[in-house]
């Protein structure tokens, strides 16, 4: 069993997930409405809905992940993700200590 703290510390760095730099680049391209031209080398995205006060998943970017068959796993966050994002995500890491 993986600890949510380990996953949070490694967010979203692993051999198969998109790294922090790529996720930041995707957020910039998404704000310019040109996320479709981005190269995505990760097999999945593992990140919270909000990170350091910034929303990581907007509807267009999440739809682009779905279009490219890149699964989304939501990490624990202080703010509850919206229903549309929960529908697009394949799973969510649960952290019971945040209650």
Q: How far is CA 13 from CA 34, 45, 87, in A?
A: 24, 10, 24
pTM: 0.72
Banded model confidence at residue 15, pLDDT cuts 50, 70, 90: very low
What Rg, from alpha-carbon coordinates, does the chain have? 13
- What pLDDT does 4 receive? 61
Q: What is the pLDDT of residues 26-53, one digit of tens each?
A: 888 888 999 888 888 778 888 888 888 8
C-alpha–C-alpha distance, residues 3 and 25, integer Å: 28
C-alpha–C-alpha distance, residues 99 and 90, integer Å: 23
Pair 19, 10: CB distance under 8 Å: no
């Amino acid at each position: 069993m993986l600890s949510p703290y380990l996953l949070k510390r490694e967010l979203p760095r692993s051999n198969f997930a998109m790294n922090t730099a790529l996720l930041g680049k995707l957020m910039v391209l998404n704000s310019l409405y040109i996320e479709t031209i981005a190269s995505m080398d990760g097999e999945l995205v593992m990140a919270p809905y909000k990170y350091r006060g910034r929303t990581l998943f907007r509807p267009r970017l999440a739809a682009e992940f779905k279009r490219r068959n890149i699964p989304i796993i939501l990490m624990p966050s202080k703010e509850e993700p919206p229903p549309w994002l929960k529908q697009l995500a394949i799973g969510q890491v649960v952290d019971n200590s945040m209650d």
